Structure formats: structure tokens, C-alpha cells
Structure 1
């Protein structure tokens, strides 16, 4: 299976931005995703769990700062503002609301790609869990590929471990269906949600005190799953 490419969601209502930015992202080794409005962008963040977001402030339905504020309620990845607004106050407000960087239009693609690389490097340094991940009475040691419950080893199939490990690396965060499917089964299975339901059910039977009322692996209906820590 080929390596999963970092996914970059571009939220911008200008078609020409997507026309030249999508091929540039693809050529740079990223998987570009597109949203043309604020609401579509928020849905895309929840569904695709992108590795980074490029967000325009001038959107047709919502102000980009409102999108930024709402996204920060559930998304911890890098958000780079892309905007024609060049007032210093706009930049300060966006950064205070949680943006990682601010690039003015017109911009050079090389500069934007460099900003994305820097944001992804910083995110990798700060976002990965340090040490074992503890969720209730379950401990997931990602370094040793060891899962225990109440101190006793839990035997998992490779797919069960890969899925649990992916959730553990994003502990406490919502991870979308397509992100999980692509990471575990590959891009060709990004829509095969039945795979997820089966393996999630198996994990719950092995890890939850009451699989019918899960408290560790939580379902976000029609969106994805979250490992509660």
C-alpha cells in the first residue's frame, strides 16, 4: 500500500485559486481537498481530518474569522490564513483566534508551500502523544505496540491495532471516516465505512466495559470516531 499523503484542505471561494493551487499541492506530495464556502469548509474539516487547512477570510457565507473560531472548537491542526486583507489588526485578530500563519494575496506558491511545510513540522513536534495513551482502564503504548486493560495485555488483530493506534495518535480529537479508512485500508477504500463499523465493534468488545454503551471509542454520527481520554 502506498504511503498516505498529507491532506491539505483549501477553503476559498475563488475558482482560480483552486485551479493553480490544487495541482501545486499535488505536485508537492500533498492530497488537496477543496471547499468553496465556510460551511463546506467546516464540514470538510470534520469529514476529512486534514493535516493542515488553508483558509480565506473573504468567504461568501461566513467571515473567515468565524470559520476559524468554530474550527478551533474541534480541530487542532495547522490553519494558515490566506487573505487579501492586509490590515495589521486583521492579522493580529486571526492569530489570536488560533491561526498558525497569515499569507497575503497575491502570494507566491513557493512561499505558501514553505509555510505549509513549516506548520506541519511544528504540528508533528507538538501534536503527537508523549508516552503511552491512557483511556479509562486501557493503556496504548504506541512505541511498543502494546495494549493493556487493567494491566493485562489485550490481543488485537493487526487491523484492530492499526485503527486503535490511529485514534490514539489523535486522542481526544474527532477523526473522520475517510481519514481512518485511508490510513488503515488505503485510498481505494475511503468510502467503505462498513469496514470501520466491523473493526470498531470488535475493539469495543475487547476494550469497553459495556460495548453497547461505549465510553472509550465514541461515535460522532455520520462523521467519525473519537478516542475519549
Structure 2
């Protein structure tokens, strides 16, 4: 289990969208969730397991250490993954990514999708987030927005992982100071570290689907089963 000095960070993409990767034409969702009772609950199911992307630019030099897609998927180059492993960082798995350049046929660097498996359970009620709609017919979950980000992470519910999520914000990657220091010391590009207590949310609510959409199924059952979100 990682030790933390109490400081957490939000791992995010730079503000510019120029370097975001696109899904390749062969990417798709494996299924569509169709509610037998409510037409408005129809939504995409799981994405196909491994990403296939198109990178902006022409050469390896155009690719940052961290690469983000338009759908907020976080990818890392081979040497970044090696840094993570040497440092003994925890709370993640990786999946291989198929990539190509949009403007050339040059082989891209090897990339891995970062799948976060670390956990800090549900956002505390003090954050303003609460369950406002649940459909037993199709599993739809709808939560209110976050109006108090200072209370978003409850350290007592954190499992000690270096990478972790708080439900219902599966696309928000939180990390320990160990990760932040590694990024800074190695001057890794394509990523920013934000203070999670100062996050600003444009959405008035969250509809994340089920936890198994974001984590390996066994891990989702272990964590989400007791909470009814797996």
C-alpha cells in the first residue's frame, strides 16, 4: 500500500485540444443499453476492449509522454510505463493500444491505455454528490453535481493506491504525491496536475454507467457489488 502525505492530485490533459488522439474508424461500442421501460434511458454500453487510435502529427517527436483521446482516455508511452513499474506505483493496469499517425505512415511509439483500479469509494455526501435516479430495469444511475470539491475525496475511504478514482467520477484520475513527483522529476509531457479541491465542474450531474464499464469485471464486482454499482 502506498503512503501519502495527504496530498492528492488530479491527473488531466493539457487545455489545448491540438494533440488529442481520435478514435480510429474501426472503434465501436460492443453493445447499446436499451431500457425495457424508459426510452430515454438508451445509452452506449461497453467500448471494445482495446483502443485503436489516430495520432495527430507525423513523427514520434510529435507524441507526448502522455497521450489523451477526445473521450478522456489516458495513454502512456512505453518508457513512462517503465518508470511507473520501477517506482512500484499501484492502482492501475494497462491495455495495449493500436495507433497510427494521421499525416504519415511512420510507425508510432508503443502506447498503453491506463486503466485505473485504485479506489476511494463513493464521493462523500458533503461533496454535494448524491444518487438522484436509479432504474432497476436497465441499471441507469444518475447523480447530482459536485458543488464542494474540497470534500470530494475522503482519505479514510482511500485504499492506498497511487492511482485511484472516486465514484461517480470514473473519468477523473486521482494520484498520490509519489506520482506527481515522478512526473515532475522526469519532466513528462502531455499531462497537468491539478489540485482536486479546486476542480470546477461544468456538469450539473453525472451518469457514469456501471463500474464494470471502467474497470476489469472482477475488480468491478469486488468493489461495486456491495454498493450496487457493478
Give the alignment's TM-score, normalised by structure 1. Answer: 0.26
More strand as a share of residues = 2
More helix as a share of residues = 1
Give the alignment's TM-score, normalised by structure 2. Answer: 0.26
Instruction: Tell which structure's C-alpha radius of gyration is larger.
Output: 1
